Structure 1
Amino acid sequence: MEMLLNDNKQDQQDQQDQQDQQDQQDQQDQQDQQDQQDQQ
């Protein structure tokens, strides 16, 4: 049982990490778009 719980926590952590990375990527994209906007 203990192992299962740990696995679950690890999965959640992984998902959170992926979500964070996705968010950072989105922010980066928005930043890039804004930069392009500024140049025009």
Structure 2
Amino acid sequence: MRASGWGVLSLLGRWPLTVYILHQPLLFGALALVDAWYRSRA
């Protein structure tokens, strides 16, 4: 296990969802599309 990797996790530990999204480009893209669609409706 790399210390640098754990350092990043500790820095972003307060935002586990953000960390997950950062590791899921497809999910990030889907959320961006949903956000754009929601804003267009509002």
Q: TM-score range by the shorter chain?
A: 0.3 to 0.5
Greater Cα radius of gyration, structure 1 or 2 = 1
TM-score (norm 1): 0.47
Greater helix fraction, Structure 1 or Structure 2: 1
Q: Which structure exhibits the higher relative contact order, with contacts defined as CA atoms closer than 8 Å and separated by 6 or more residues? A: 2
TM score, norm. by length of structure 2:
0.45
